Each structure stands twice: as C-alpha cells, then as structure tokens.
Amino acid sequence: MKVRLATPTDAEAGSRVLRRSIAELCHADHGGDQAFIAAWTANKTPDSWLIWLSQPGASLLVAEREADIIGVGMVDAGGMILLNYVAPEARHQGVSTALLKAMEDVSAERGIVVCRLESTKTAQRFYMTQGYSPMDGDSSTILAKPLT
C-alpha cells in the first residue's frame, strides 16, 4: 500500500471510495436511512474532488494498492482532518491508520501542533486508539491529538 497526494485523475475512483465507505461502513451513523446517506454523500463527487484539490493549503491524499484507490484522506491548512475513508474491501488492513499518519505528518511539517477532527460514531473508537481524545467532554465528536 502506498499513500500519495491525490490528482485530478483520481476523482472518479476516489469519490466512489468515499460514497461506498459511507454507505457500507457507517451504518452506526446513518442507520441505513437512504435520505441521510444521500445527503451525506451529495458532495462526494468528482466535481467536489477537483474543488478540494484547489483549496489553498489543503492536502488530499489517496491510499492505493496495485493502482487501485482503497482510501481517501484530507487535511486542511490548519490541521483539521476533513476526510478519512476506506474502501469496504480494505477495512481493517491499516489503510485508515496510514492515511491518518500521513495527514498528521503533513500537519507537523507545516508547524501545526494539534490535529483535530469530527468523528463519526463508526470511527470514534479507532481515533481514540490513535491518540485522539474529545475536546469538549467525553461525549464530544470533536477530537484532538497533540502532534508533539
């Protein structure tokens, strides 16, 4: 598996990974509600991908195995992790961990001292095992991790 910066040619496959990950892996968050899934995935499109690539200071990353995109991550200029999704067939294979580490490394290289994110219910336990903790009490979905 390799993590690299995303390109415009990744837009179709990358946005497909995002939509499938949400629909197939985030059941604890959407409960199978198709309207909720549609709203959540409405901006997970190739057009949005191209917009994300052009955001100043943002890093859009993909994890790939044998030229197939199996994960997508994005961190903004301030160290806010905006995306960390994995293809359903690649779940529990270290993809999210590799993307998260890459986003933390990018942030640290920029002088960011804390990464933050808003976690889904599905991913909250994963982030806690990676050193993230709630910012506003135990029930917060906003998590943070010092990078130093």
**% pLDDT > 70, the chain:** 98
For each of the domains in the chain, give its residue range(s) and CATH number, in order of start. 2-146 (3.40.630.30)
Say what the pTM is: 0.93
Question: Which range has highest mean pLDDT (68-72, 116-120, 123-127)?
Answer: 68-72
Give the per-residue pLDDT at 139: 64
Least confident interval from 3-17, 87-101, 102-116, 119-133: 119-133
Long-range (24+ apart) CB contacts under 8 A made by 5-8 are 5/59, 5/60, 5/61, 5/62, 6/49, 6/53, 6/60, 6/61, 6/62, 6/72, 7/53, 8/49, 8/50, 8/53
